[in-house]
Amino acid sequence: MSDALVIAGRDFHSRLILGTGKYETYDLMKKSLEASGTEMVTVAVRRVPLTDRSKESFLDHVDLKKYHLLPNTAGCYSADEAIRTAMLAREVLDTKWVKLEVIGDERTLFPDNEGLLEATRALVKEGFIVLPYFNDDLIVARRLIDAGAAAVMPLAAPIGSGLGIQNFTNLRILRECIKDTPLIVDAGVGTASDAALAMEIGVDGVLMNTGIAGARDPVKMAEAMRLGVKAGRLAFKAGRIGKKLYAAASSPETGMIE
Amino acid sequence: MKIVVNGEEREIEDGATVSRLVSLLDLKSDRLAIELNVRILRKGDWDSTELAEADRVEIVSFVGGGAAGSQRGAAFGLELEPEERCAGFADTFYLLRKDVQLRIDRT
């Protein structure tokens, strides 16, 4: 039975989206992507190095037939910068997809929701498929969806912090209230149980980078994350039991020997 | 003539086109995006677009990046004049706000 994640009409069979930054080597990145089972990876737009020609091209190391690229606007601190970056990304490989970040604060990397909304509106108008990174605010989520976002991606904790799901209740509320737009946890996941917990809430997917790239063994952690996402998804679909304060026997209470 | 490519001043022959610059730099043209004076140039226009003295060119591509912001201003060349326009194609223009430049000056 298919349980695809559908974003803007495109099916993904993995609910894990991976960043491609912070890996020590391209080889480690490739193996980690492979082990994670992901089908969509984020990339950043940067100046091409003109003097150091020894640098290998990043795109030589990503199988574009296997992975759908999701360019990001990381490092952008205003709607204008983000729009400019998204437009350049579209030109690099003719893609309309963008993981939209408009950062509002350097220390926390929390999003600037006002700039985010402005950029979302402009880019949707330009025909982009926009996946905005925002904080877990239902009202902002609704506005982003009204502006045409293809998915909404709340953080679970600050980017790269590895703190795990710090906003369980807010994510639950988001899930209860947002039924028709993919909801993807973006940032904060530190280990496999965090990914599983996010998926148990019923979010549609998880996006992570540092949790894998920063692990002692990224390839193993990538596999753990794949399994965590899968376990959480299955548990969500299965429907967990209700919580009770007291014991409920699980062996038959009749037919006891006397 | 002198032009500025990715923030570095370079010498190039008069009348050189954008395509000529790309080939001089030995870059793979299918994986780049180019801005000329903060306007994105479509690949189809590289051949016919001649560079002029003091032109500012940004050549970008994809690098590894994740669920992460980076340092302020890290995105790429942000030596924009306050009144410059950040251009899309055709009819879409976005005015870069003055505070972008001011903020970059401060950091």
B1: nearest Cα among B51, B47, B36, B59: B51
The total of structural domains in chain A comes to: 1
The position carrying tokens 């051949």 is B47
For residue A172, give the CATH number of its domain. 3.20.20.70
Q: Which amino acid is at B79?
A: E
Q: Evaluate whether A84 touches A126 at the Cβ level (below 8 Å).
A: no
Q: Do B62 and A59 touch (CB under 8 A)?
A: yes
Q: Evaluate whether A188 touches A165 at the Cβ level (below 8 Å).
A: yes
Element (H, E) at B34: strand B33-36
For chain B, give the percent of residues with pLDDT over 70: 62
Chain A environment of B34 (Cβ under 8 Å):
91
Residue A73 and residue A96: Cα distance in Å, rounded? 13
Q: Do B61 and A103 touch (CB under 8 A)?
A: no
Residues 13-42 of A with CB under 8 A from B: 18-23, 29, 42
Q: Which residue of B has its CA nearest to A187?
A: B67
Residue A250 belongs to some domain of the structure: no
* Cα A14 to the center of its chain, rounded Å: 11
Q: Single out the catalytic residue among A30, A31, A55, A99.
A: A99
Residue A256 belongs to some domain of the structure: no
Question: Is the pLDDT score of B77 beyond 50?
Answer: no
Chain A environment of B8 (Cβ under 8 Å):
50-51
Q: Residue B17's pLDDT is what?
A: 94
All domains of chain B in start order, with CATH:
2-62+75-106 (3.10.20.30)
- Over the stretch B4-18, which tens digit does the pLDDT of each residue have? 999 899 999 999 999
Q: Is A57 on the interface with B (CB under 8 A)?
A: yes
Q: Do A84 and B78 touch (CB under 8 A)?
A: no
Residue A251 belongs to some domain of the structure: no
Picking from A78, A109, A213, the nearest residue to B69 by CB comes out as A109
Q: Do B33 and A45 touch (CB under 8 A)?
A: yes
Q: Residue A42's pLDDT is what?
A: 93
The pairing of beta strand A10-12 with beta strand B85-87: unpaired
Residue A247 belongs to some domain of the structure: no
Question: Is the pLDDT score of B52 beyond 70?
Answer: yes
The ipTM value here is 0.82
Question: Is the pLDDT score of B106 beyond 80?
Answer: no
Q: Do B67 and A210 touch (CB under 8 A)?
A: yes
Question: Is the pLDDT score of B67 beyond 60?
Answer: no
Tokens for A20, please give them. Answer: 């491609």
A38: nearest Cα among A217, A244, A218: A218
Q: Which residue of B has its CA nearest to A71?
A: B62
Q: Rounded mean pLDDT of B66-79?
A: 45
Best mutation target among A63, A88, A95 (most B Cβ atoms within 10 Å) is A88
Question: Is the pLDDT score of B101 beyond 60?
Answer: no
Q: Residue A2's pLDDT is what?
A: 81
Q: Residue A204's pLDDT is what?
A: 97
Beta strands in chain B (DSSP E): 2-5, 8-11, 33-36, 39-41, 56-64, 85-87, 93-95
Q: Rounded mean pLDDT of B55-69?
A: 79
Catalytic site residue A99?
A: yes
Residue B71 and residue B103: Cα distance in Å, rounded? 13
Q: Residue A56's pLDDT is what?
A: 65
Residue A253 belongs to some domain of the structure: no
Residue A252 belongs to some domain of the structure: no
Q: Is A184 on the interface with B (CB under 8 A)?
A: no
Q: Which residue of B has its CA nearest to A41?
A: B66
Q: Which residue of A has its CA nearest to B71?
A: A75
Residue A92 and residue B62: Cα distance in Å, rounded? 8
A7, β-bridge pairs? A10
Q: Residue A53's pLDDT is what?
A: 62
Work out the minimum CA distance from B65 to partner chain A, whole angstroms: 4
Residue A178 belongs to some domain of the structure: yes
Confidence of residue B72 (pLDDT cuts 50, 70, 90): very low
Higher pLDDT, B101 or A82: A82
Chain B environment of A46 (Cβ under 8 Å):
60-63, 65, 75-76
> Residue ranges of chain A with pLDDT lower than 50?
none
Best mutation target among A77, A153, A185, A225 (most B Cβ atoms within 10 Å) is A77
Residue A246 belongs to some domain of the structure: no
Domain containing residue A113: 5-48+57-237
Q: Do A58 and B64 touch (CB under 8 A)?
A: yes
